[in-house]
Structure 1
């Protein structure tokens, strides 16, 4: 098994699509850092003066008309029919602060998790695409039949290919995530605020990166299984895009309560160690139907078990098909 896996790893690395895909992936990684640099840059002197002028005008209006505006708001609040928000919620008019005008300072602990999360999806897509091509190309070219003449034990061949796909992307994900994480730190350390990056924060970020790398390896395996089942890279990509558009997009938007059973939200729950989503809850009262957006949570455990079950089912399905189906 080890010998077979080494052979499959060499074949995976030698493929042209693998080289092109990895080059594109690292280019996107660098573009993320470039975008982070531009977003983190402080305002120019001209922009700072403009923000100062806007603050002074807003503060002057607050000082001169604040009481009048609050009084008018409270009068409007009293005239509104029930149900209505509290007067504090509706008529709060706080004193303007300078930091509210212009561009807020970039904070490492806010930006880094978002960039690692975004990088996870780039990595997973690249891993799925390359994994699907890795097996689909062997079926479309007939090379898998020749390979089985040298190693007829199909399940060993199947396992070695999936293991090679997973192992091949672990270092890729680790390098890409390390570039994003430490590159972001260097950028924010120069242009923003990194004082809140404590040891616990670094531990959480490294754990997030570890889960992102595991997700990437799983995507490579599932891409390989999909390529085996469909025998064509374009078909595998079409299935994924169809799922994203029809199920995640259309179905998920109409049936909000089904969101915990969609892949994307469970990936978020696993990678981010828990996530939130919104549902619309309506109630009927004497004056009509009232709908509110309610925020709900999806736990890390739910995401982990969901993805593990999906992974096992698809791998077993691929193994059963490969064991029984004609490869010609």
Structure 2
């Protein structure tokens, strides 16, 4: 218990951690203030016009579906042009859509909490993931580089216990901060929606979906924290973690992706960590494969998807592999 308390004090006393907390507050303040300044409560005329536009949009969707069904069934009126419809018209069926156009879709300059909460939450998750990675890397990297770990081992001469406590303290602190920041963040924008915009449709489905995104985001924040910690432990320096990520982004995410596109590799996005991160956060991510229908005639499906299950397996596997390697190297390494 004394070791955990000592690590919490060391973590909180780091200037880099304090700087990142200040940046978090500043980013939150700027986002909230710009949202508040750019929103207003709609007038009755604006609401009426928005409802009319939403009804017209739904009518057009139904017309497209009816034209598709008529063409597939061979019931097009004489003189009608053939359109590029698939054999299955279900993707145009308004009844089967995830959501239909509503009045709040046609209210520019009005903050609608139910529509903006998820994108805002993604922004917060991205910042917290960056926060976790940088803090995790600097937390252990600075100690290894400066000899602080050696001094700690003189007090508690158990390497695995010390490193495990450091990692556990980091994960607990990042998780606690993420929960607190998320609560304050979403509550602030809910108040903005109530006072300077519209709350939107806040039903059970909305809160369930937002809660799922939040839970997946917290998992991602913890994984990035462990990744930063593990890479810095392996490289004995904070810069090792930063350099590894930069090299991966340039060599693989940019360079390898370009090569795969040149040689027409099928489904290249499935080999990218960024794709798996996106699939995990959203639950399902669709990609466009330009080379999928090179030899096909007629309608061809160029879209393929990644779902959260394989994405989570990849992220967990990579994180676990690096964490195990970090503990194994730390156990045998000469720290002097």
- Give the SS at the match of 1:116: helix
- Give the SS at the match of 2:287: strand
Pair 1:227–1:291, CA change in 2 (3 A): farther
Q: CA RMSD in A?
A: 3.4
Map of 2:131 onto structure 1: 126
Give yes or no for contact 2:42–2:110 (8 Å, CA) kept in 1: no
- Give the SS at the match of 2:294: strand
Map of 1:302 onto structure 2: 310
Map of 1:267 onto structure 2: 277
User: Which of residues 195, 206, 212 in structure 1 aligns to 2:211?
Assistant: 206
Pair 1:209–1:99, CA change in 2 (3 A): closer
Pair 1:261–1:196, CA change in 2 (3 A): same
Residue 155 of structure 1: how far off its partner (Å): 1.0
Does 2:293 correspond to 1:282?
yes
Does 2:25 correspond to 1:15?
no
Residue 104 of structure 1: how far off its partner (Å): 6.6
Map of 1:193 onto structure 2: 198
Give a deviation string over 1:226-281, Cα, whole Å, max 9, x none.
Answer: 11111222232122123233322343353572323422222222223333332222
Residue 317 of structure 1: how far off its partner (Å): 0.6
Map of 2:72 onto structure 1: none
- Could you list the runs of 5+ residues in structure 1 that have no partner in the other structure? 56-76, 87-97
Map of 1:326 onto structure 2: 334
TM-score normalised according to structure 1 size: 0.75
Give yes or no for contact 2:41–2:198 (8 Å, CA) kept in 1: no
Give yes or no for contact 1:268–1:275 (8 Å, CA) kept in 2: yes
Give the Cα separation in 2 of the matches to 1:154 and 1:218: 22
- Give the SS at the match of 1:103: coil
Pair 1:285–1:264, CA change in 2 (3 A): closer
User: Which of residues 257, 261, 267 in structure 1 aligns to 2:267?
Assistant: 257
- Give the SS at the match of 1:302: helix
Pair 1:35–1:267, CA change in 2 (3 A): farther
- Could you list the runs of 5+ residues in structure 2 that have no partner in the other structure? 54-79, 86-102
Residue 292 of structure 1: how far off its partner (Å): 7.2
Tell me the number of residue pairs that the alignment of Structure 1 and Structure 2 aligns.
287
User: Which of residues 160, 166, 169 in structure 2 aligns to 1:164?
Assistant: 169
Map of 1:115 onto structure 2: 120
Residue 177 of structure 1: how far off its partner (Å): 1.6
Give the Cα separation in 2 of the matches to 1:99 and 1:208: 22
Map of 2:88 onto structure 1: none
TM-score normalised according to structure 2 size: 0.73
Map of 1:174 onto structure 2: 179
Please, which moves more after superposition, 313-322 or 275-284?
275-284
Give a deviation string over 1:161-193, Cα, whole Å, max 9, x none.
Answer: 111110111121112222322222222223333
Give yes or no for contact 1:128–1:219 (8 Å, CA) kept in 2: yes
Residue 113 of structure 1: how far off its partner (Å): 0.9
Give the Cα separation in 1 of the matches to 2:5 and 2:150: 19
Map of 1:72 onto structure 2: none
Give a deviation string over 1:73-110, Cα, whole Å, max 9, x none.
Answer: xxxx97xxx9x736xxxxxxxxxxx9998827443222
